[in-house]
Structure 1
C-alpha cells in the first residue's frame, strides 16, 4: 500500500502534543521566575526577620535616690542622685537586691570623694556612670562573681 505525501502520519499528533507540553513547561518556568523576582527578596527578608531572635527585655534594678555631701570650695555642696542599674539577667538582679546595702555604701563612698565641679558636664556624668558601674561590679567576696551590671542610668541628678 502506498501512502500519499498529503496523508496524515502518526508523528503529527505526537509533535503537536509535545509542542503543547513544551509551551506549558516554559510558561510554568516563566511564571515561577516572575514570582521569584517579585516575591523572592520580600520572602527572604521576611524569613530572615522571623529567624532573628527576639531582643531580650532589659532588666533594671533601681536604687532609691540618696543625697551625699560632695567636696566644695568653701561651702558645703550636696549631690542628690537616683540611678538604675541595667543587669545581665535575673541571677544578677537577685544578687544585687540581696547585697543592696553594701552596694549603696560603695556608691556613696565613690560619690562623696567628688568635687561639685567634676559633676557638671555630660562627659563628667558619663565618666561617673562608668566608674560607678566598675565599682559596683567588683565581686562582693571571693566566692561570688561580679554583679553583672552592664550600665548605669541616672534618673535624678542634682548638684546644689
Structure 2
C-alpha cells in the first residue's frame, strides 16, 4: 500500500518538472524570436535611400575588413606662443589611418607633415592647450592639416583620428 501512495507523488513531481522545462523552453523561444525580429527590423531594407545608418553599416563592414592602422609621429617638444610666460608642450601623437595606402602616403610625406604639425603646435598659446576642449580642437586641426597634406577627401579617407599618448604643458 505504501508503494501505491509513492507512485502518485513521484508522478506529480515529474509532471511539475516537465511543465517547468516546457515553460522555460517557451520563454527561450519567445526571447529568441523577439531578438531575431528586432534584429531584422534594424537591418531592414531602406528602399534604396542612402541614410546615416547605411553609412554606419558601410563603415562597420570596412572596419571588419582590417584591423585599425596606426602611425606614430615623432615626439614634439615646442615652445608655446606666449609673450607673458615661458611655456612648453611635449606630446606624442599617434594617428589612425583609414587604410594601408594612406599609411604609405603619410610615411612618404612625414618630414613635411611633422614640420607643419610643429608649426601648428608652436602657434598655440598655453591657454589654448590647457583648456578643457583644447586637446580635442587641436586634434581636429592636426587631422585636417595632415589630410590636406595627403590630399585626402572626405571623412573616411586619410587620418581618421588623432590620439595624444602624452600631453605635457609646462
TM-score normalised according to structure 2 size? 0.60
What is the root-mean-square deviation of aligned Cα atoms in Å?
Answer: 2.9
Between the aligned partners of 2:111 and 2:128, the Cα distance in structure 1 is: 26
Structure 1 range deviating more: 69-78 or 88-97: 69-78
- Pick aligned residue for 2:137 from 102, 110, 127: 127
Name structure 2 gaps, 5 residues minimum: 1-25, 43-59
Output one character per residue of 1:52-73: Cα deviation in whole Å (capped at 9) or x when no partner.
8584321111112120111123
Q: 1:150 maps to which residue?
A: 160
Between the aligned partners of 1:76 and 1:36, the Cα distance in structure 2 is: 68
**Aligned partners of 1:70 and 1:112 also within 8 Å:** yes
**Aligned partners of 1:65 and 1:156 also within 8 Å:** no
Output one character per residue of 1:22-77: Cα deviation in whole Å (capped at 9) or x when no partner.
xxxxxxxxxxxx796575446678999xxx85843211111121201111233422
Alpha-carbon distance, 1:150 to partner: 1.2
Q: 1:105 maps to which residue?
A: 115
Q: 1:81 maps to which residue?
A: 91
Between the aligned partners of 1:93 and 1:159, the Cα distance in structure 2 is: 29
Between the aligned partners of 1:37 and 1:116, the Cα distance in structure 2 is: 59
**Aligned partners of 1:71 and 1:113 also within 8 Å:** yes
Between the aligned partners of 2:62 and 2:149, the Cα distance in structure 1 is: 31
Structure 1 residue ranges (4+ consecutive) displaced by more than 6 angstroms after TM superposition: 43-48
TM-score normalised according to structure 1 size? 0.63
Between the aligned partners of 2:84 and 2:90, the Cα distance in structure 1 is: 19
Verify: 1:159 aligned to 2:169, yes or no. yes
Q: 2:103 maps to which residue?
A: 93
Rg larger for: 1
Number of residue-to-residue matches in the alignment = 121
Between the aligned partners of 1:131 and 1:137, the Cα distance in structure 2 is: 10
Q: How does 1:5-154 map to 2 (within 5 A)?
A: 37=30, 40-41=33-34, 53=61, 55-56=63-64, 57-140=67-150, 145-146=151-152, 148-154=158-164
